[in-house]
A and B are shown apart, each in its own frame.
Chain A
Amino acid sequence: MTDVDEVIGRVHREEWARLVATLARRLGDLDVAEEMAAEAFASAVQRWPVAGVPPNPGGWLTTTAYRRAVDRLRREVRREEKHREALMLFHPAEPLGAIDDDRLRLIFTCCHPALAMEARVALTLRMVGGLTVGEIARAFLVEEAAMGRRITRAKAKIRAARIPYGVPSREDLPARVTGVLAVLYLIFNEGYLASDPGREPVRAELTAEAIRLTRLVRALLPADGETAGLLALMLLTEARREARVSVDGELVTLHEQDRGRWDRGLIAEGHALVRALIAAGRPPGRYQILAAVNAVHTDAADARHTDWSQVVALYDQLTRLDPSPIVRLNRAIAVAELDGPQVALAQVDELPLPDYRAFHATRAELLRRLGRVQESRAAYDRAVGSAGNAAETAYLTRRRDQLAGP
């Protein structure tokens, strides 16, 4: 890779979202914005190695893309002016003092709750993240043509239903920020624990992209505690990625991970974010609490030194926000370390999660510790039999086969 290729790669990461977002506002058209941004980068790939990298690459790209877009729109406007106008993105007047950044408008539009979740994910990765349709299709194991149609349909709905290209009103803002964070967390989790059994268990390109996008949202909404909490949660999770799957492709649990392989830089950054959030003293939301749980885990030199009472206390706090069975399952896993498997199993057995893999895996583990071998084996069977991540399946299968004979 030459120096110029590297520069283009870096500029693409840094400038893509800004370029698409600025063009979308100035041109009133997401399609044209996306296409012209891609064309401007294609020009850069041709020109920069010959003519040199311009002093202000972002400015060069914007000017190039904008000139082409204006030429094209002029041709089209002459052809069917009224039609074009009807297709313009709706850009509402916003109160002065609202956060003025086109990238934020773009993110809120791509993550609008009127779009299906899979469309939000795809649009965000394409328009904000700058991934190609092919890359997104491969990441989600969808045919490229089908992914292209998904993105096209989403853009068509944005126009037809007049999904605004703007920052939500004050009353809508908290729910909409939550919606954006849900999209980012889904992208991260798909990378971290791929749901498809036929896939690589961990896909670093998706976790890295989710972190990059979350950093961007955090830069745009610096006062939002949950955004900072989600970033901390991702960093503290990502820090353990290398230690989490063995060379044989098997999941390595927190207890068994080689903590020397954790990324200390990411942990330090995550801890600093969590400390700042605690110091701010506002009531934490779910991501902040989950980040704090992960801060406790990454604080311990080995699993035995984990402050489990702190973990249970944090899950108590989370249960008050969200008393869902999955939260209670995670709380019970911490309770097992504090009060023993018997107490934890009684709590797990109350949960209505018959199709949830982690429910059966947790039961299997607790029953094993209690020496109830046959029940444990049956629970491992159910866990292995439910669909899920390939590395998890490998781990659960080995644990089951290690149980003493009947």
Chain B
Amino acid sequence: MSVAKKQRKLRKIFGGAMELRPEKGRMHLVGEAKSWDDAVQAGLICAKKGSDIHVVSDVTVKGLEIPPMRVPELRDNALEGLRPDVMIIGAGVTGCAIARELSRLKLNVLLTDKEYDVATHASSRNDGMVHPGIDILPGLLKKKLNTRGNRMYTRLCRELNVPFDRCGQYLCFRQKSVLPLLYLTKPYWLLSGAGSTEVLTKKALKKRETDVSDEAACALYFKSAGSVCPYGLTVALAENAVENGVRLSLDTAVLNMAVEKGEIRSVNTNRGTVYPGLVINAAGVFAEDVAKMAQDRFFSIHPRRGTNAILDKKARRHIVSIYSLMGTQSKSAHTKGGGVVGTVDGNVLVGPDAVETPEKENFATDAESILKTFEKQRHAAPWLTQGDIITYFTGIRAATYEEDFIVEKGRAVRNIIHAAGIQSPGLTAAPAVGEMVAGMVRDYFPKAEKNPSFDPNRKPIVRMAELSFEERAKYIEQNPDYGEIVCRCEEISRGEIIDALRRPVPCSTVDGVKRRCRPGMGRCQGGFCSPLVVKIISETLGIPESEVRKGSEGSRLLMGEKGAHK
């Protein structure tokens, strides 16, 4: 569509409310929309999928105030005057994958995140699928990175000691008549990078996935699909990066930058001013904000919410791998349609949906999302019941209007690399994004030597419940804490919880411990173990129980000793 045509379309749909201005290197969208949905729709109309000329939207919505980025209250000088070679903004799976790749080189790398832990936004709020990349248009960057990332997973997870199940994925169809056509698509999948496939009749499908819906008449099985614990992987990447020399600074928000003559001179944070040689923007939903601070804003992010439900482990018997039924996909084109995923931890995940939102950090769930998701997925999995739900969560995708990833050097600024617009399948692509960015970083530091002490392998927190009787006995003999079960649902010992508090990327919160070794992840959701976990954190870190937090700095669980406040 030509610019003039797009402008006409905008006028036709929205009157003169919004206007598209082609500017050098970007499509600038301005005006005032009636609603956020209008603003997003306008952006999508103006964008060309996969184009490197991006829509930059300054559209406002009448009466809508978009909340500013949440910034920790902490103010100190921990980072004041640091001069790292590379500063990575954002410790999600992308930032952590980049950090780990860079730790292969002898570079001084600072990885920052404004939150209290790594993987608190989209990286812990997704379904953990390692995608074959079925529905991504060839030619898009995210297609290339998804294919490459998918192939890297087996080795990466082996090195990092992260559970990964290349369980494959069934795309089921209602019409038996498509069966012969499925055979014809096999070479396409092979060529396009989705990899090797199998065509299954209903009978063959039922043999492998006994409880899949009778609506499924045949299926295409993608062998390369897999399932991983997304926050487990992110924590592991961060730990390995730190073990290999990366400095991680949490509770660190970038507030502004000093840019002169197309170069970032300094980055001002709540923990001091940093003078990095190169900045990497891996800020997820805030990537546009970071680009703006760097005076290199050439794209816009429109956040898109997705909600998943987690089911009790009892439901896991109904599913071996991952499946979804075609034709029950949501009308929005911007989700893979979700599905039902058997997770590596033995639960079942259902979702996600896709809803546009102006709020980048509103993780609230609503009843409607769950209802709709269940309605839809029940076509594929009739055994789904809301009674099996143990919890649900919302994540927010960092989509650009072009719906493609941006992994490139700054356009107006010399010393920045953007890894932006990384939405689904960002988890799958993360290792490849890390590799690609590391390649670009080498251009800035051509003389950087290999890090001679780089060790790709990471020792995990050993999960006692998964060991044999004899192995477990040996651990307990060395440390009796491994024999004291704290979380009865997930069978987690005191020793594992103390380990989680003392990792290369330490944590001090109940949620941090939960992400690292799972107490509270089970069906009682911490009802029994949370007082014990709080006590262990308090004893191990030497802080009063009333100071122990759930997560971020304002999330203390308790309000002091009884009697003290009267």
A in complex with B: no
Residues of A within 8 A of B (CB): none
Residues of B within 8 A of A (CB): none
